[in-house]
């Protein structure tokens, strides 16, 4: 269009068209220069900004103290939506217009702005509930142009994992026959063992040596350390290494997360693993277990859990005798026939159970 | 058929949701209409069009997401046809005054389609029609103030582009102010400088410029009144029997007669006279041929050999003028908005009625290659040439009306000249050097021949006397010559390629017959080029500006501002705004530089520290010291970064930015 206008204006007997043609041509040239300048110094960052807690989400039930130790800014469970923050940084001063396009999971997302200030620009895009597992940002590109939209530039950014959708869980303690299972196990309570159990407020009579000065300074009142007594519950949750379908894997992860939560909130330790897969770390940390379960069954391979005085719970969808050999009890997902003497409970794919 | 239809169909255009973009489209239309109002003196339709377009834009925006209604489309189509009927009726019958019918049609078209401005493509269409309106106004624009309107329209176009682009991105309409302003400023300034400094290429004109459509008033009798003010009316209104009486001459004022948009400065030739008797010129040949308003090249004499191309002139008449087409000769083609044209025996075209103010016509002329070398090499006049052309040599070569004194003088002046060209130039330069030009000349005494009186008594005169004397003296030497009248170039603006022709530019000169070249204009009036042939101007503005500088004086800028009218406020406002912006930028820069600036590496390291915390999925709690946080998180990289942060924060030793970049790469 510009060339046509320029040709016509340049050869027109009306000189004002020649001026218009020059202006349009100069605009195009200036826009090209602007577009080249606008391409540099931009970077894209994607992160979870907030969550929209769905009905029945564990996030509603978890105590504040537990949530504070969770992922930043908040854990995202199955059924929760979340806000994806698309942030563009301009390291060499304000830029614009800039827009970014890419995939989050299977969803195509775009966001753009006319101005990326020196301090950066961000927009939060609400995403609906996603399936358990890592959420990848794939194929994201930073697009730039001049303000008129004549010349464009594209810069790809590396794929990344922006969120981990954790399995849902709920306490299953009520479903089990507590008398059978729990009577034989010591109730975890604070004692005078060697391993740190936690902290609590100072009560008259506590030894001054047990005062945790740093925490006391933070809380504004005296806080003492508590040490766990010997013999707390130690739970090994062994999962089916090859769940037949993703839906079965989801259900196994949910049951495992529920078992882990029940154990940890009672002060116990949990390790989650599956044959051939690396066991989970940090046995007292709920979030470590949930992250392991979020990736199940695609966790890194290798290792076996440290053996010890543990209760072993198996959650499976297949009749694997080896898996059930050392189990104390089991959950069976689906209709598979198993031949075992250990107590087990059969569940379907509905959640909550 | 279906694939062809599918292929021909334009891709779907998105609905234009940008209210700012629509605002710019409307503003562009208003600017174009304003140009028509200011330069075309057309008021009613433009005002109605703007009001209707404003309403239409509002309705279109509010209903942009609805489906198009069938009946509305029918009504709009009917209105478009109504506007078409208007333009035909106005241009052919002048039912509505005949003022700028095409512009009015375009204005009505925009106003009507404003009610159906749904998609981005519709907006573009509206913008391009605005450009067409602006173009029509540009044909009538003869001053630099029009550049302000053109610039405003360009800004509207840019605004629409920006708003539309941002809306497409679903982004808010803002941007980095300084870079965008720099881009726009550079473009506007660069475009303006290019326009001023770079010559406009001369394209080959395809045809004359059609600005106004013809009316249909035909010739009612003989040729219309001749060209005023040099030519005196006689009892016969026919131009062929008009005359130039050298015994007296009227006063010529400074009022503009016409504007000429031209690719080259030239003499605008009107009537030609061949017979001189008793101090008066008349035309003896009364023959003519009638032609259509558009005269194509095939009806006109062939191109002069070795010509330098063609150029277009567009004339806009400012005051009532006789029905004579003044133009540069030789003509290649022409178009005049009249029912018919008549070409007289001397190649001059006539219109059925006097030319009225506002009327335009357009002519394409050849640019003959008339250099001294070429003319000097022209073949001598021999019997073969005399037989071939000019056809009435008996008159052109008639020495009977020349006095013996004048004839002797001609012989004396040209005795050393060998070629025809040298003879012509010897006479021309002799007259230019030895005779004084004046308009304050008393009437020729009774009984005196005006030429002899001029040559031997007063030795001062005006253009007719110079031209007449040379014509007769050339004839006495056997060189065919005749008197041409019309207008000199006028005040030529080399930047805008236009000339303002005033009454006092009325002029007379000599046309000399050169074998192989035809009639060549020669001007013996002092102070002008002897070889008054059309020349391409120095398009380079260096030459153009140099021509303008001598006219500048202390009062010139004020006069230039005054000529802008209402728009005169724009340049001072721009200047004040520019000064204010520069002052603000300077102050801001001072404040900014006075502020303590972070040391190199500081902000980068702190940003990296924040990033690392996000990566570790737990931020440092407010009461937590960096070291406590590091111990809690158990990360080797964090330990390094923490140490660097502590060193910077507490010891003032911020790391080198390169080290920060290394750390950042390790995080990635």
Residue of higher predicted confidence among B351 and A307? B351
Residues of B with CB below 8 A from A149's CB?
161-162, 164-165, 168
**How many CB atoms are located within 10 Å of the residue B79 CB?**
17
B30: nearest Cα among B144, B132, B130 = B130
Tens of pLDDT, residue by residue over B485-498, are 888 888 887 667 78
**Contact between A14 and B138 using a beta-carbon 8 Å cutoff:** yes
**Contact between A114 and B175 using a beta-carbon 8 Å cutoff:** yes
Given pLDDT bands bounded at 50, 70 and 90, which one contains residue B10?
low
**Contact between B169 and A99 using a beta-carbon 8 Å cutoff:** yes
CA distance to partner chain A, nearest, from residue B277 (Å)? 42
Whole-angstrom distance, CA of residue A133 vs CA of residue B341? 87
User: Which pair of structure tokens corresponds to residue B382?
Assistant: 């021999």
C-alpha dihedral, B645 to B650 to B651 to B655, nearest 10°:
20
CA distance to partner chain B, nearest, from residue A289 (Å)? 15
User: What is the distance, to the nearest Å, from the Cα of residue B75 to the centroid of all Cα atoms in its chain?
Assistant: 38
- Within 581-600 of B, beta carbons closer than 8 Å to A belong to none
B378 touches chain A (CB under 8 A): no
Mean confidence (pLDDT) of chain B: 80
Mean confidence (pLDDT) of chain A: 83
Residues of A with CB below 8 A from B150's CB?
16, 19-20, 23
Is the Cβ–Cβ distance between A122 and A85 less than 8 Å?
yes
What pLDDT is stored for residue A327 in this prediction? 84
A92 touches chain B (CB under 8 A): no
Given pLDDT bands bounded at 50, 70 and 90, which one contains residue B593?
low
CA distance to partner chain A, nearest, from residue B201 (Å)? 6
Is the Cβ–Cβ distance between B497 and B473 less than 8 Å?
no
Is the Cβ–Cβ distance between B115 and B60 less than 8 Å?
yes
Is the Cβ–Cβ distance between A51 and A75 less than 8 Å?
yes
B529 touches chain A (CB under 8 A): no
What pLDDT is stored for residue B223 in this prediction? 38
Whole-angstrom distance, CA of residue B112 vs CA of residue B653? 70
CA distance to partner chain A, nearest, from residue B135 (Å)? 7
Q: Which of A17, A29, A112 is the closest to B135 by Cβ?
A: A17
**Contact between A94 and B496 using a beta-carbon 8 Å cutoff:** no
What pLDDT is stored for residue B394 in this prediction? 72
- pLDDT at position B216 over 70: no
Residues of A with CB below 8 A from B605's CB?
none
For A26, nearest residue in chain B (alpha carbons): B187
Q: With pLDDT > 90 as the criterion, what percentage of chain B qualifies?
A: 19
A32 touches chain B (CB under 8 A): no
B431: nearest Cα among B440, B419, B439, B423 = B423
- Within 179-238 of B, beta carbons closer than 8 Å to A belong to 179-180, 183-184, 186-188, 190-192, 194-195, 198, 200-205, 209
Residues of A with CB below 8 A from B495's CB?
15
Strand partners, A329: A313
Residues of B with CB below 8 A from A24's CB?
154, 157, 191
CA distance to partner chain B, nearest, from residue A142 (Å)? 13
- pLDDT at position B227 over 60: no
- pLDDT at position B150 over 50: yes
What pLDDT is stored for residue B648 in this prediction? 85
Tens of pLDDT, residue by residue over B368-377, are 888 888 888 8
**Contact between B162 and A10 using a beta-carbon 8 Å cutoff:** no
- Coil, strand or helix: which one is B38? helix
What angle is formed at CA B105 by the lines to CA B104 and CA B106, rounded to 5 degrees?
Answer: 90
- pLDDT at position B540 over 50: no
What pLDDT is stored for residue A19 in this prediction? 84
B350: nearest Cα among B315, B321, B388, B317 = B321
- pLDDT at position A251 over 90: yes
Tens of pLDDT, residue by residue over B443-465, are 788 778 888 898 888 889 888 88
For B209, nearest residue in chain A (alpha carbons): A13
What pLDDT is stored for residue B632 in this prediction? 85
| Cis before A97? omega within 30 | yes
Is the Cβ–Cβ distance between A87 and A44 less than 8 Å?
yes
Residue of higher predicted confidence among B277 and B26? B26
What pLDDT is stored for residue B557 in this prediction? 45
Q: Where are the extended beta strands (E) located within chain A?
A: 42-52, 76-77, 81-90, 98-104, 107-113, 121-127, 133-145, 152-156, 160-166, 191-201, 223-227, 234-239, 269-273, 311-316, 329-333, 344-347
Whole-angstrom distance, CA of residue A208 vs CA of residue A212? 9
| Most B-contacting residue of A3, A20, A35, A294 (CB-CB within 10 A), to test interface | A20
- pLDDT at position B358 over 80: no
CA distance to partner chain B, nearest, from residue A11 (Å)? 5
Whole-Å CA distances, A210 to A224, B9, B193, B648 = 5, 84, 83, 36
Q: Which residues have C-beta within 8 Å of that of residue B384, sequence separation ≥ 6? A: none
Whole-angstrom distance, CA of residue B444 vs CA of residue B468? 14
Given pLDDT bands bounded at 50, 70 and 90, which one contains residue B4?
low
- pLDDT at position B237 over 60: no
Strand partners, B63: none
Span of A42-56, A118-132, A136-150, B491-505 with lowest mean pLDDT: B491-505
* Chain A, chain B: beta-carbon pairs less than 8 Å apart: 160
**For tokens 């530089």, what's the residue?**
B593
Q: B523-552 b/e with 16+ CB inside 10 Å = b?
A: bbbbebebbbbbeebebebeebeebeeeee
What pLDDT is stored for residue A59 in this prediction? 84
CA distance to partner chain B, nearest, from residue A251 (Å)? 26
**For tokens 């440092």, what's the residue?**
B620
What pLDDT is stored for residue A229 in this prediction? 54
CA distance to partner chain B, nearest, from residue A6 (Å)? 11
Secondary-structure breakdown of chain A: helix, strand, coil percentages, each rounded to the nearest 5: 25, 35, 40
Residues of A with CB below 8 A from B195's CB?
15, 18-19, 22-23
Mean pLDDT, residues B134-148: 82
Whole-angstrom distance, CA of residue A141 vs CA of residue A153? 10
User: Which pair of structure tokens corresponds to residue B351?
Assistant: 């219109």
Q: Count of alpha carbons within 13 Å of B383, Cβ hemisphere only?
A: 0
For A9, nearest residue in chain B (alpha carbons): B200
**How many CB atoms are located within 10 Å of the residue A166 CB?**
28
Instruction: Report the sign of the C-alpha dihedral through residues A189, A194, A199, A200, in that order.
Output: positive
Question: What one-character-per-residue DSSP string does A275-287 give?
Answer: TTBPPPS-TT-HH
- pLDDT at position A45 over 50: yes
Tens of pLDDT, residue by residue over A257-277, are 999 998 888 888 899 988 888
**Contact between A114 and B172 using a beta-carbon 8 Å cutoff:** yes
Is the Cβ–Cβ distance between B493 and B543 less than 8 Å?
no
Instruction: Quote the ipTM score.
Output: 0.71
- Within 121-150 of A, beta carbons closer than 8 Å to B belong to 145-149
- Indicate the burial class of A182 (C-beta count within 10 angstroms; 0-12, 13-18, 19 or more): middle
What pLDDT is stored for residue B211 in this prediction? 52
- Indicate the burial class of B438 (C-beta count within 10 angstroms; 0-12, 13-18, 19 or more): exposed
Does the reported pTM lie above 0.80?
Answer: no
Whole-angstrom distance, CA of residue B572 vs CA of residue B578? 10
Q: A210-241 b/e with 16+ CB inside 10 Å = b?
A: ebbeeebeeeeeebbbbebbeebbbbbbbbbb
Whole-angstrom distance, CA of residue B570 vs CA of residue B577? 10
Given pLDDT bands bounded at 50, 70 and 90, which one contains residue A154?
very high
Q: Where are the extended beta strands (E) located within A129-281?
A: 133-145, 152-156, 160-166, 191-201, 223-227, 234-239, 269-273
Beta strands across the sheet bearing B506-514 = B268-273, B481-487, B506-514, B518-522
Tens of pLDDT, residue by residue over B67-89, are 888 888 889 889 988 888 887 77
Tens of pLDDT, residue by residue over A182-195, are 434 444 444 444 55
β-strand A344-347 against A329-333: which pairing, if any? Answer: parallel
Span of A125-134, A236-245, B651-660 with lowest mean pLDDT: B651-660
- Total count of residues recorded for chain B: 668
Q: Where are the alpha helices (DSSP H) in B254-308?
A: none
| Most B-contacting residue of A17, A22, A125, A196 (CB-CB within 10 A), to test interface | A22
What pLDDT is stored for residue B553 in this prediction? 35
| Most A-contacting residue of B149, B179, B198, B492 (CB-CB within 10 A), to test interface | B179
């Amino acid at each position: 269009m510009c060339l046509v206008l320029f040709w016509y204006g340049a050869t027109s007997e009306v000189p004002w068209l020649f001026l218009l043609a020059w202006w349009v041509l100069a605009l195009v040239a200036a826009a090209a220069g602007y577009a080249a300048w606008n391409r540099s110094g931009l970077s894209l960052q994607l992160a979870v900004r907030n969550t929209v807690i769905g009905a029945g989400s564990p996030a509603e039930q978890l105590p504040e103290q537990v949530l504070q130790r969770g992922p930043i800014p908040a854990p995202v469970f199955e059924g929760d939506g979340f806000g994806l923050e698309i942030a563009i940084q301009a390291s060499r001063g304000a830029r614009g217009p800039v827009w970014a396009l890419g995939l989050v999971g299977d969803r195509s997302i775009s966001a753009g702005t006319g101005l990326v200030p020196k301090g950066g620009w961000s927009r939060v895009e609400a995403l609906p509930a996603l399936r358990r597992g890592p959420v990848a940002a794939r194929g994201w590109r930073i697009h730039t142009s001049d303000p008129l939209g004549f010349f464009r530039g594209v810069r790809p950014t590396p794929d990344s994992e922006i969120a981990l959708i954790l399995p849902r869980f709920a306490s299953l303690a009520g479903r089990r026959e507590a008398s059978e299972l729990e009577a034989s196990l010591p109730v975890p309570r604070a004692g005078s063992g060697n391993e740190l159990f936690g902290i609590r407020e100072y009560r008259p009579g506590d030894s001054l040596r047990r005062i945790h000065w740093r925490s006391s300074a933070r809380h504004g009142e005296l806080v003492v350390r508590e040490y766990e007594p010997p013999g707390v519950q130690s739970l090994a949750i062994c999962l089916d290494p090859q769940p037949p379908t993703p839906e079965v894997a989801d259900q196994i992860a949910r049951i495992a997360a529920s078992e882990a939560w029940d154990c940890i909130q009672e002060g116990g330790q949990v390790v989650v693993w599956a044959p051939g897969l690396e066991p989970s770390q940090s046995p007292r940390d709920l979030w470590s277990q949930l992250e392991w379960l979020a990736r199940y069954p695609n966790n890194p391979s290798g290792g076996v859990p440290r053996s010890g005085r543990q209760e072993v719970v198996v959650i499976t969808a297949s009749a694997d005798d080896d898996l059930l050999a050392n189990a104390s009890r089991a959950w069976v997902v689906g209709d598979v026939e198993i031949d075992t003497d250990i107590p087990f409970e059969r569940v379907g794919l509905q959640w909550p159970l | 058929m279906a694939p062809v239809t599918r292929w021909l169909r334009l891709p779907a255009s998105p609905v234009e949701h940008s209210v700012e973009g629509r605002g710019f489209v409307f503003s562009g239309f208003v600017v174009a209409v304003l140009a028509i109002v200011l330069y075309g003196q057309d008021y009613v339709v433009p005002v109605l069009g703007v009001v209707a377009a404003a309403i239409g834009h509002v309705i279109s925006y509010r209903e942009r997401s609805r489906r198009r209604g069938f009946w509305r489309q029918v009504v709009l189509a009917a209105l478009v046809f109504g506007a078409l009927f208007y333009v035909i009726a106005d241009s052919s019958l002048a039912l509505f005054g005949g003022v700028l019918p095409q512009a009015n049609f375009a204005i009505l078209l925009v106003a009507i389609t404003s009610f159906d401005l749904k998609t981005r493509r519709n907006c573009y269409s509206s913008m391009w029609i605005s450009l067409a309106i602006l173009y029509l106004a540009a044909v009538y624009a003869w001053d630099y103030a029009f550049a302000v309107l053109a610039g405003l329209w360009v800004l509207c176009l840019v605004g629409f582009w920006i708003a539309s682009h941002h809306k497409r991105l679903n982004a808010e309409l803002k941007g980095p102010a300084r870079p965008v302003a720099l881009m726009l400023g550079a473009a506007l300034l660069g475009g303006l400088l290019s326009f001023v400094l770079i010559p406009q290429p001369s394209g080959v004109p395809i045809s004359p410029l059609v600005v106004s459509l013809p009316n249909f008033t035909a010739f009612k009798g003989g040729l219309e009144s001749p060209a005023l003010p040099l030519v005196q009316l006689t009892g016969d209104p026919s131009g062929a029997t008009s005359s130039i009486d050298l015994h007296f001459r009227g006063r010529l004022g400074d009022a503009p007669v016409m504007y000429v948009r031209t690719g080259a400065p030239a003499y605008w030739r009107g009537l030609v006279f061949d017979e001189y008797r008793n101090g008066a010129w008349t035309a003896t040949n009364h023959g003519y041929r009638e032609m259509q308003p558009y005269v194509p090249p095939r009806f006109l004499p062939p191109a002069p050999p070795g010509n330098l191309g063609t150029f277009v002139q567009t004339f806009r008449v400012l005051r009532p003028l006789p029905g004579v087409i003044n133009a540069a000769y030789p003509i290649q083609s022409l178009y005049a908005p009249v029912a018919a044209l008549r070409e007289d025996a001397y190649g001059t075209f006539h219109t059925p009625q006097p030319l009225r103010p506002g009327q335009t016509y357009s002519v394409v002329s050849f640019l003959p290659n008339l250099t001294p070398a070429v003319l000097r090499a022209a073949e001598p006049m021999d019997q073969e040439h005399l037989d071939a052309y000019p056809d009435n040599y008996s008159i052109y070569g008639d020495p009977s009306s020349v006095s013996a004194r004048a004839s002797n003088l001609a012989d004396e002046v040209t005795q050393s000249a060998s070629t025809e060209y040298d003879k012509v130039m010897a006479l021309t330069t002799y007259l230019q050097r030895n005779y004084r030009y004046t308009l304050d000349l008393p009437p020729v005494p009774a009984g005196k021949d005006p030429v002899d009186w001029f040559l031997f008594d007063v030795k001062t005169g005006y253009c007719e006397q110079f031209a007449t004397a040379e014509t007769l003296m050339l004839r006495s030497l056997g060189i065919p010559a005749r008197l041409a009248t019309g207008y000199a170039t006028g005040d030529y603006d080399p930047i805008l390629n236009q000339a303002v022709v005033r009454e006092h530019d009325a002029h007379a000169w000599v046309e000399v017959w050169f074998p192989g070249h035809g009639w060549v204009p020669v001007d013996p009036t002092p102070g002008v080029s002897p070889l008054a042939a059309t020349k391409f101007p120095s398009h380079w503005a260096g030459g153009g500006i140099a021509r303008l500088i001598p006219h500048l004086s202390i009062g010139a800028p004020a006069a230039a501002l005054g000529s802008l009218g209402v728009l005169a406020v724009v340049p001072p406002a721009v200047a004040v705004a520019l000064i204010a912006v520069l002052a603000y930028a300077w102050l801001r820069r001072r404040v900014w530089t006075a502020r303590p600036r972070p040391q190199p590496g500081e902000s980068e390291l702190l940003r990296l520290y924040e990033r690392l915390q996000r990566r570790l999925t737990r931020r440092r709690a407010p009461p937590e010291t960096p070291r406590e946080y590091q111990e809690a998180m158990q990360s080797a990289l964090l330990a390094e970064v923490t140490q660097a942060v502590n060193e910077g924060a507490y010891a003032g030793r911020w790391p080198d930015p390169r080290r920060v970049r290394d750390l950042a790469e390790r995080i990635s």
